[in-house]
Amino acid sequence: MPSYTHLLCAGLAASLAAAAPTPSRVSDAVKRSSSSCTFTDASAASESKADCSTIILSNIEVPAGETLDLTDLNDGTEVIFSGTTTFGYEEWDGPLIKISGSSITVTAEDDAVIDGDGSRWWDGEGTNGGKTKPKFFYAHSLDDSTISGLSIKNTPVQTFSIESDNLTIEDVTIDNSDGDDNGGHNTDGFDIGESTYITITGAVVMNQDDCVAINSGENIYFSGGTCSGGHGLSIGSVGGRDDNTVKNVTFTSSTVSDSENGIRIKTVYDATGSVSDITFSDITLSGITDYGIVIEQDYENGSPTGDPTNGITISDVTVDGITGSVEDDAVEVYILCGDGSCTDWTWSDVDLTGGSTSDDCENLPDGVSC
């Protein structure tokens, strides 16, 4: 069956019927730029995406080993997820979805779900071994754009990979809670790198790794988030990549519950770079199992060494209004800085209860205590 029969295009249907499949069917730029297209087939959507100003993805079943590829969309394209989006099973790297372009709006109908059915891949090993698991959603070069109202379930491994400028993400829910008892691992919510002006508001993330992790980037704002089950709100690990600068990041008005950490900055041992102008404010913690607040400069091969270095500076950090509780075998605050590399921190209204105080803090900046 030719792919255009999967494409129901208001304003294009007539020209399709008359002229398909010759190229002349896309020669009318005006019609093309004002077309609303409904797709029920992933490859039809990928092939015809340039012909549509609105792309409705209706109950798409993405075939195994394929990407729902909405890259290089025309400026201003609107993408709407409708019904349930599903993916066939294959061991591969993915991603399962990628969208790029400028001034793109990605939304979903109220009851729409993007369902990764991750349990088919979950084996407790995440990206450390076992089955090769597909990444979920690449928002790379999705600039001056907005993603809002998506409801995502059970991703195989990491959910959003963000490398964009001026991207706003509003009211997105990532519910990987089925992975808690079924081997979900490394199911990060939002991984951000090499990006500027990223705003994420109203996110709900239930997962088994970082709620947010920022490896590099500037002018990033996270507010009104609800994170549970994972590793908390994190900058890092920073170091050892092409871009090792994190600047002007705010995490505010959020809760982190039943997670390994509340808020965290980690930098790589013996690397160079900088982390500056960071604010964590008005964050409520509960059920934290490892550290309420942890800032450490000793990561090597993804694990702490206990031996901090000072090649990455962490400066102008505001920690204000971090309250709530940690588990009784957790540490409330742990700071391990290199010699002279942590400077100009402002620390106020840190009120955590329930855990122990660390004896292992080093090189604390003025005004900060463990």
Structural tokens at position 324: 């709530």
Q: How far is CA 29 from the centre of its chain?
A: 35
With CA atoms as reference, report the closest residue to 275 among 332, 318, 339. 318
In whole angstroms, what is the distance from residue 16 CA to residue 30 CA? 15
Whether the link from the prior residue into 95 is cis, omega within 30° of 0, is yes
The alpha helices in the chain, defined as continuous H runs, are 13-19, 29-33, 42-48
The answer to whether residues 230 and 257 touch, using CB atoms and an 8 Å cutoff, is no
The identity of residue 212, as a single letter, is V
Dist CA 34 CA 255 (whole Å): 42
What's the min distance (Å) between Cβ of 141 and ligand NAG? Answer: 9
Which residue's CB is nearer to ligand NAG, number 199 or number 358?
199
Sites of contact with ligand NAG (CB under 6 A) = 143-144, 165-166, 197, 199, 219-221, 248
- Per DSSP, the three-state class of 93 is coil
* Catalytic residue chosen out of the listed positions 6, 140, 185, 231: 231
- Annotated catalytic residue 185: no
- Give the residue with the Cβ less far from ligand NAG, 144 or 170: 144
Q: Tell me the CA distances in angstroms from 198 to 192, 244, 280, 332, one per residue in order.
A: 9, 17, 16, 29
Gap between the Cα atoms of 147 and 192, Å rounded: 15
Write down the least CB distance from residue 233 to ligand NAG, Å: 15
**Percent of the chain that is helix, strand, coil (3-state, to 5):** 10, 50, 40
Between 166 and 274, name the residue whose CB sits nearer to ligand NAG: 166
Nearer to ligand NAG, 81 or 251 (CB): 251
> Which is nearest to 103 in space by CA: 37, 205, 152, 33?
33
Is the Cβ of residue 115 or residue 144 nearer to ligand NAG in the bound state? 144
- Which of residues 75 and 329 has its CB atom nearest to ligand NAG in the complex? 75
Residue 50 C-beta: closest distance to ligand NAG, Å:
20
Residue 89 CB partners (closer than 8 Å, separation 6+):
64, 117, 120, 121
At 368, the amino acid letter reads V
Q: State the catalytic residues.
A: 231
